[in-house]
Amino acid sequence: MATQSLRALARRARVPDWGESLMLEDVRGEVAITGIGETPVSGPSGRDPRTMALEAVAAAIADAGLRPEDIGGLMVSAGIRDQLRPEDFHTHFNTSQPLWFSTAGGAMIWAATCTHSAALAMRAGKARHIVNVFAVDWASRRAAGSGTPGDWHASEDMKARFELPFGWYPQPVYFATFARRYMHEFGLDSTQLAALPLTFRRHANRHPDAVMHNRELTLASYLARPPLADPLRVEDCCLISDGAAAWVMSPAEQAVDMPHPTVLVEGVGHGRVQGAPYISQQPVITATPQTFAAPWAFAMADTDVTEIDVIAVYDCFSSTALMQIEDMGFCRKGEGGHFIQNDRLFYQRPRRLGGIPCNTHGGLLSHSYLLGISHVVELVKQLRGTAVNQVEDTRIAAYAGFTADEGSTLILRRGER
Amino acid sequence: MISPDLSDPLTGPFWQGAQAGELRVSWCAACDRAVWYPRARCDVCDGRLHWQTLSGAASLVAWSEVSGPLNPDFDTPYLTGLVSPREAPYIRLVTRLVDCCAADLRCDMAVTVRFRALQPRRGAAFIAPVFTPA
């Protein structure tokens, strides 16, 4: 479909004017995710990001039934230190083929948009099989006092000049402020908000790889916890973890001959808020840039929320996940607190029973903080039918990515084979 | 270093204003609107910006009481949040809420500016525009 037609379709969702959707080309059905790989996830482990990345990449390539010399492209995140470089790949695998390299990959919003970049690279003949990988060692760094996720924010000039001096920092403080506003506007209370961390923890309790696998959480124990930054408790905030994950993207027509059921990229969206990058100045603080990403992805995939079987939402904070579930369109703005009650996000409440299973691996709150790349890996497992917390008859899945002032949406579909 | 740099040409006037007991924001005369955060030129008309002194009346957008060990720069607990100045309700100032407790605060309540010394754990104290219920 022409980009202008996508724009017209996306606009039918009547998106507000405080942000914009980037005009991504239609890449529906061109790319498949054909291999996935993960390292163990953990607290401080002393593991090096590049070593972890290589472990995940090797696993993903093997899972796709490929050899390292078959890989023609490598995508990683910019701005996160010690990500994998082409020379690391070649040294480790003893390979020498040309590697198309992009820093518009990795996790967060790029866990969705990298599929679009990969499709364009494949069209242009730059690469056939492309690996996307993300690794992080923030748990080790925090333990060693050598860095935290707040550092990047603190390096922003205006944040340093006008926000840090007041103590409006780090991330839990500003998302707590936004959660407070949301509670005021829409009447959400802590008992309702608890549905997110409690459900994600139940998923993690059933998932042997999750960092919080052995840590149960009840509503009473959640409510008894003191606020960290009121109204958020520690259970409303993401973990800090070490680990890596990767996947292989291949041309869809080749995926049918590869080992696993085909998982096709059906829709991609990328939204951006005005006033970026300072979210203190974001015109609306009770919604997320997912508002501008989702309509484009749904238009490209020619689907809507009623057809989505399982979602994975960037849950840096419980309240941010709640807002994104609304902004994707699963319920109306302000109704999210009510919508997520009655186990609606639990994996055993499939769509036909009125649920929308969410973060079935435990999410950033209870699986690990790999910044969203594990979310997409989990959706691939769901569509293959191999997830630990498998949702019944999963055909279409959606990921909501987030980086404060930008959001992204990825729609994946199980192929016919 | 948390303490602001009063000599910074782009942002120092905000903090100099606080020392002088004035709440100042960056303003475009041609558009007659606040431009926040400050920039070299107006992002709409590319005109020159100046620093405009405001009344100090504002509306509380939202706040958080920081109790946990999140921010190594300040002793806890403290109240921080966002306010919108009466003359420029379309911008937000990051600030502290003082002379009150969390239970006194409501979103959209009227607040007014005060000028107080904030003391980081390391570095010099500095005068900052903070707010209290009006």
SS3 A271: strand
What whole-number distance in Å separates Cα of residue B72 and Cα of residue B74?
A: 6
According to the model, what pLDDT value does residue A149 have? 75
According to the model, what pLDDT value does residue A223 have? 97
Per residue of chain A (417 residues), give pLDDT as tens.
888 888 887 777 667 889 999 999 999 999 999 999 999 999 999 999 999 999 999 999 999 999 999 999 999 998 888 999 999 999 999 999 999 999 999 999 999 999 999 999 999 999 999 999 999 999 999 888 877 777 766 778 899 999 999 999 999 999 999 999 999 999 999 999 999 999 999 999 999 999 999 999 999 999 999 999 999 999 999 999 999 999 999 999 999 999 999 999 999 999 999 766 788 999 999 999 999 999 999 999 999 999 999 999 999 999 999 999 999 999 999 999 999 999 999 999 988 888 999 999 999 999 999 999 999 999 999 999 999 999 999 999 999 999 989 999 999 999 986
Question: Which class is A1-20+170-235+266-410 in CATH?
Answer: alpha beta
Helices A110-123 and A373-384 meet at what angle, rounded to 10? 70
**Which stretches of A314-395 are assigned E, i.e. beta strand?**
none
Residues of chain A with C-beta less than 8 angstroms from the C-beta of B108: 184
Q: 264-293 in A: which are within 8 Å (CB) of B?
A: 278, 280-281, 283, 285
Q: Count Cβ neighbours within 10 Å for each residue of B8-36 and write b for 16 or more, e otherwise.
A: eebbbbbbbbbeeebbbbbbbeeeebbbb
According to the model, what pLDDT value does residue A61 have? 98
Rounded to the nearest angstrom, the minimum Cα separation between B37 and chain A is 7
Closest-CA residue in chain A for B106? Answer: A184
What whole-number distance in Å separates Cα of residue B11 and Cα of residue B25?
A: 9
What is the helix (H) or strand (E) element at residue A402, kind and residue range?
A: strand A396-402
Cβ–Cβ below 8 Å for A165 and B74: no
What is the helix (H) or strand (E) element at residue A401, kind and residue range?
A: strand A396-402
Cβ–Cβ below 8 Å for A164 and B73: yes
| ipTM summary value | 0.98
Rounded to the nearest angstrom, the minimum Cα separation between A122 and chain B is 38
> Which of B94, B109, B131 is the best residue to mutate to test the A interface, defined by the most A CB atoms within 10 Å of its own CB?
B94
What whole-number distance in Å separates Cα of residue A339 and Cα of residue A326?
A: 9
Question: Which class is A31-142+241-255 in CATH?
Answer: alpha beta
Q: 204-243 in A: which are within 8 Å (CB) of B?
A: 226-232, 234
Cβ–Cβ below 8 Å for B70 and A162: no
The answer to whether A1-20+170-235+266-410 and A31-142+241-255 have equal CATH topology is yes
Report the pLDDT averaged over residues B109-123: 96
According to the model, what pLDDT value does residue A276 have? 67
Radius of gyration over every alpha carbon of chain B, rounded to an integer in angstroms: 15
Domain boundaries defined on chain A: 1-20+170-235+266-410, 31-142+241-255
In this structure, are residues B70 and A177 in contact, taking their beta carbons and an 8 Å threshold?
Answer: no
Domain boundaries defined on chain B: 12-133
According to the model, what pLDDT value does residue A152 have? 67
SS3 A250: strand
Residues, chain B, total?
A: 134
Radius of gyration over every alpha carbon of chain A, rounded to an integer in angstroms: 20
Measured between CB atoms, does A352 come within 8 Å of chain B?
no
| Alpha helices (H) along A127-229 | 138-144, 150-154, 157-162, 171-186, 190-193, 195-205, 219-224
What is the helix (H) or strand (E) element at residue B94, kind and residue range?
A: strand B93-96
Cβ–Cβ below 8 Å for B107 and A230: no
Measured between CB atoms, does B126 come within 8 Å of chain A?
yes
Rounded to the nearest angstrom, the minimum Cα separation between A240 and chain B is 13
